[in-house]
Amino acid sequence: MTDEIKYTKSQEIFNKAKEAGIVEEKDFIKFKGTGKHIVKFINDKAISGTNFKTGQPEEKVRYIFEENGKEKNYETAIFRIDQKTKEKKLGHFIQSMSQFEYGDMLEMEYKPIPGTPRGFIDIKKVNEPETTEDQNTSDNIPVIEEDSEPKKIPEEDLNVDELPF
């Protein structure tokens, strides 16, 4: 008996396409339930994306980080809808990331908000003091869904000048 790996047809097709350079596999970083991540901030860009809940087009930012020598992507919507006022607001993750420069080493960790099903990604420069819970109110913390998976979308640059603000 041999220890040959048995692939599904889909896996065989995907692997062959990957070897041929037809598809590019992107590795997305996940924060919820994975502990602290020490990453290097490599790049970010505004893109046109799709809302994973509604399937509708939306403006997003794709971040590229390096973790353990591997590039990892994270995508987030530029705007969120405030649940109380129903107004469009700039996303918390984008506000937090605006404090950092390319090349900065960051520590990122998902932190739950006690008594709620919500949480936020705490971001700080490596060797900087920790964020206190008093600084994060429920008004400026985005909801992170339990089973949310980023959708892979074609890389279409979004002109930041075209944003509606």
Question: Quick one: 113 exposed, middle or buried, by C-beta within 10 A (0-12, 13-18, 19+)?
Answer: middle
What is the structure's pLDDT at 80? 84
pLDDT one digit per residue (tens) for the chain, 165 residues: 556 777 788 888 878 887 887 876 678 887 877 889 999 999 999 999 888 778 888 899 999 999 999 999 999 999 987 778 888 889 889 999 999 999 999 999 999 888 888 888 899 999 765 555 555 555 555 555 555 555 554 556 666 666 665
CA end-to-end span of the chain, whole Å? 65
Q: Are strands 57-67 and 70-77 parallel, antiparallel or unpaired?
A: antiparallel
For the chain, give every domain's residue range: 26-162
Give exposure, 19-35, as e/b (b: 16+ Cβ within 10 Å). eeeeeeeeeebebeeee
- Which parts of 84-147 fold into alpha helices (H)? 92-97
Tokens 């990453």 belong to residue: 39
Q: Is the pTM of this model over 0.75?
A: no
The one-letter amino acid code at 38 reads: I
Tokens 């996303």 belong to residue: 91
What is the structure's pLDDT at 9? 84
